[in-house]
A and B are shown apart, each in its own frame.
Chain A
Amino acid sequence: KQEVTQIPAALSVPEGENLVLNCSFTDSAIYNLQWFRQDPGKGLTSLLLIQSSQREQTSGRLNASLDKSSGRSTLYIAASQPGDSATYLCAVRTGGFKTIFGAGTRLFVKA
């Protein structure tokens, strides 16, 4: 059974710092991995989607990597800003339209 874990559960950093969020999964047989951002009381906004054949994806200050063999993905945020404060979730797509979500990392960027 696929399990997805995100550590740490919460993170506080000063503005301008580069940071890494971690996502680990137990079964390497995945179709893709998707990173989302969720603001309080809002829906999920897709940030990056990495296919199983890819190693990384980049969008602006965000870079996501995928290492299937070790069951890990990281989301790198460069030069963090207070507007980056949100909860970040990773989601692993397995077969049969099944997707498993992590519980998220709550990020707070201090001005």
Chain B
Amino acid sequence: DGGITQSPKYLFRKEGQNVTLSCEQNLNHDAMYWYRQDPGQGLRLIYYSQIVNDFQKGDIAEGYSVSREKKESFPLTVTSAQKNPTAFYLCASGTGEDYGYTFGSGTRLTVV
């Protein structure tokens, strides 16, 4: 079955450490997105990519980085510059403006 796989499900980061969240899709979607979800707030866009080897900053890109070397993969790195990284991270994919989004199951990142 087609879908989006995020890993790991839970991730713990020490202060000053970079961590990478994985997102893989087999839906053949061109566009992929990373969102951050905090309690009581709507999803906020971190980065998005419309095609391979191209990506754009979203509303809260500071302290994060991404790459898009393959159509299927869009990993997100949370760097030590992100001062408040504890949150639920969601990856999504889509194709064309007339179509909706498909989401992965999320990664919960906690700073320890």
Residues of A near any B CB (own CB < 8 A): 4, 9, 31-32, 34, 36, 41-46, 49, 51, 89, 91, 93, 95, 97-104
Q: How far is the CA of A23 from the CA of B43 in the complex (A)?
A: 15
Q: How far is the CA of A95 from the CA of B98 in the complex (A)?
A: 10
Residue on B nearest A48 in the bound complex, by CB:
B100
Residues on A with C-beta less than 8 A from B97 are: 31-32, 93, 95, 97
- 12 contacting pairs across A/B (C-beta < 8 A): A4-B42, A9-B40, A31-B98, A32-B100, A42-B105, A43-B90, A43-B104, A44-B90, A51-B98, A89-B42, A91-B43, A93-B97
Please count how many residues in chain B sit with their CB below 8 Å of the partner chain's CB atoms.
Answer: 25
B106:A42 contact, CB within 8 angstroms: yes
Closest Cβ–Cβ distance, residue B80 to chain A (whole Å): 26
A51-B98, A91-B43 are known contacts; what are 5 more A-B pairs with Cβ within 8 Å?
A44-B101, A91-B101, A97-B50, A99-B45, A103-B42
- Known contacts A4-B42, A104-B42, A99 near B106 by CB under 8 Å: no
Q: How far is the CA of A42 from the CA of B98 in the complex (A)?
A: 25
Q: How far is the CA of A44 from the CA of B100 in the complex (A)?
A: 12
Residues on B with C-beta less than 8 A from A9 are: 40
A97:B43 contact, CB within 8 angstroms: no
CB within 8 Å of A: which B9-60 residues: 31, 35, 40-43, 45, 48, 50
Residue on A nearest B42 in the bound complex, by CB:
A101
Residues on A with C-beta less than 8 A from B41 are: 103
- Known contacts A32-B98, A51-B98, A97-B50, A43 near B103 by CB under 8 Å: yes
A102:B90 contact, CB within 8 angstroms: no
Q: How far is the CA of A103 from the CA of B99 in the complex (A)?
A: 21
A43:B106 contact, CB within 8 angstroms: yes
Residues on A with C-beta less than 8 A from B48 are: 97
Q: How far is the CA of A110 from the CA of B40 in the complex (A)?
A: 22
Q: How far is the CA of A51 from the CA of B41 in the complex (A)?
A: 25
B105:A43 contact, CB within 8 angstroms: yes
Q: How far is the CA of A42 from the CA of B88 in the complex (A)?
A: 9
B42:A102 contact, CB within 8 angstroms: yes
